[in-house]
Chain A
């Protein structure tokens, strides 16, 4: 069997006395997408930040391509080069044009020349229909366009694994779809990803596995069909019911 891209085992994370993640184990094989669902505050962002080493776990291990990244000897800068992360609030660099946002990491982290990095960045912008925005500052773009630029920025370093944290939650409903179809496109091209989302319809389309988090624990997991249509755990049912009522399914 091939080594999975990501292997999380028995991870625990606490902020002070508040336990935010408890006994989390998830395996993400190559070219698959794992979707984290759960109420606000259930620990989805914290889990993604732990994978990215923006937070340190308190127990358990995380392996990337078989290499333990939670080991003390691991170099966080080196590991983050293999990961892409997209945030709910886009977090584009406001003082840089779109193109400069995208080529910053390829140039500074991966030592690619400006010309080569720009060429690749423009290719990506074209692929996602944003090529005419290359010379604009992020604040001139709509939220949906900003988020797509943020996705392109994380793709430009050719990550092994893409982490997406509620990438549509800050967007107007009419802008959600353009971002979701971008993510779907990536999935179709074989990108391995872990994503937190409240868009259940979208989860059903891209997920290979869905994990339901509550109060930092995985209460139930399985295929999207089973999880979203026939959940066995009453809390999962309850949660889906509430999301449904909020009008997002």
Chain B
């Protein structure tokens, strides 16, 4: 498409190094083909528009004309009330969810990588750590995160150990880190395992040590391959930070809950949802694009 467009306005940036007799201009066949193609494109756009209007319009009509719509919209979409409580919810989001996401994602990246490296290493000295890491991953991938939050958030303070924090915010972060490190470790490990052994052999035969091979050859390729699933996990992490509200952390969800239970109007929840969407939708789009690019890159490599 872009090539055609360039040719049509007659300003090819790279003129062909050789020529077979003068300036090229589209033949009658080609011109006809282009007109036909344009017609096709127009028709497809029309069909897409009509079907969208029909389907979405019908759905909207069903919802809006339903008997309970008036009541529902008053309790969930009371916008003026929503904007009135927005600052409180935003404060909760920035003070808790966002900070929690930042601290947790950095820690999870670190611990996930360390666990993945331990699990993929073959060194004899690391055997006990390998066993522990495997147990850890199996355990925390198998327990619902809500339970981990309960266990850490209520269990640790109950032990009444000296010098151990009772701060629910910190305990919440720890619970999130524990759970997500197990997931991320597995994603990174799968990336490491997909790097072909011949890459290792090539690096070792150049004299690189085991660690250097990992650092310069295996990990860069592994991380590149698992970037899309890791970004997916980041989106999930952002949403799951809301779960720590059950410990009493005043995050966006908890702030909304406090408001909603005061007025019996649920618009604060909708506001909280919108705030989460403002962060997660761009990130999801970005993830999609990264995934598409990484697939394109792998296809290109397959062809070479």
Q: Which residues of A approach B to under 8 Å, CB–CB?
A: 49, 52, 54, 76-78, 80-81, 83-85, 87, 89, 91-95, 104-105, 108-110, 138-141, 143, 146, 153-154, 157
Q: Is the CB of B205 within 8 A of A93?
A: no
Q: Is the CB of B212 within 8 A of A91?
A: no
B300 at the interface (CB under 8 A from A): yes
B207 at the interface (CB under 8 A from A): yes
- The residues of A that contact B117 with a CB separation of less than 8 Å are none
Instruction: Please provide the chain B residues from 176 to 217 with a CB less than 8 Å away from any CB of chain A in the complex.
Output: 198-199, 201-209, 212, 216-217
Q: Is the CB of B201 within 8 A of A104?
A: no
CB distance from A69 to the nearest CB of B (A): 13
A76 to B220, CA, bound (A): 24
- Candidates B202, B212, B301; contact of A139 at CB < 8 Å: B301
CB distance from A65 to the nearest CB of B (A): 16
Report if A109-B212 is in contact (Cβ < 8 Å); known contacts: A91-B198, A95-B221, A95-B224: yes
Q: Is the CB of B207 within 8 A of A109?
A: yes
- The residues of B that contact A93 with a CB separation of less than 8 Å are 199, 202-203, 216-217, 221
CB distance from B200 to the nearest CB of A (A): 9
Q: Is the CB of B202 within 8 A of A91?
A: yes
Report if A77-B202 is in contact (Cβ < 8 Å); known contacts: A104-B216, A108-B216: no
- Candidates B201, B212, B304; contact of A108 at CB < 8 Å: B212
Q: Which residue of B lies closest to A138 (CB)?
A: B304
Q: Is the CB of A157 within 8 A of B304?
A: no
- The residues of A that contact B212 with a CB separation of less than 8 Å are 108-109
CB distance from B138 to the nearest CB of A (A): 31
A66 to B114, CA, bound (A): 41
Number of A-B contacts (CB under 8 A): 67
Q: Is the CB of A139 within 8 A of B304?
A: yes
Q: Is the CB of B202 within 8 A of A87?
A: yes
Q: Is the CB of B198 within 8 A of A52?
A: no
Q: Which residue of A lies closest to B206 (CB)?
A: A105
Contacts A/B (CB < 8 Å), 16 sampled: A54-B204, A76-B204, A78-B207, A83-B205, A84-B206, A93-B202, A93-B216, A93-B217, A104-B206, A108-B208, A109-B208, A109-B212, A110-B207, A143-B304, A157-B206, A157-B207
- Candidates B206, B209, B217, B304; contact of A154 at CB < 8 Å: B206
A249 to B151, CA, bound (A): 74
Q: Is the CB of A94 within 8 A of B221?
A: yes
Q: Is the CB of A80 within 8 A of B304?
A: no
Contacts A78-B207, A109-B208 known; 17 new A-B pairs at CB < 8 A: A49-B201, A54-B205, A77-B208, A80-B205, A81-B207, A85-B202, A93-B199, A93-B216, A93-B217, A94-B301, A104-B216, A105-B206, A105-B207, A108-B216, A109-B206, A154-B205, A157-B207
- The residues of A that contact B203 with a CB separation of less than 8 Å are 93
A34 to B216, CA, bound (A): 33
- Candidates A52, A92, A143; contact of B205 at CB < 8 Å: A52
Q: Which residue of B lies closest to A108 (CB)?
A: B212
Q: Is the CB of A80 within 8 A of B199?
A: no
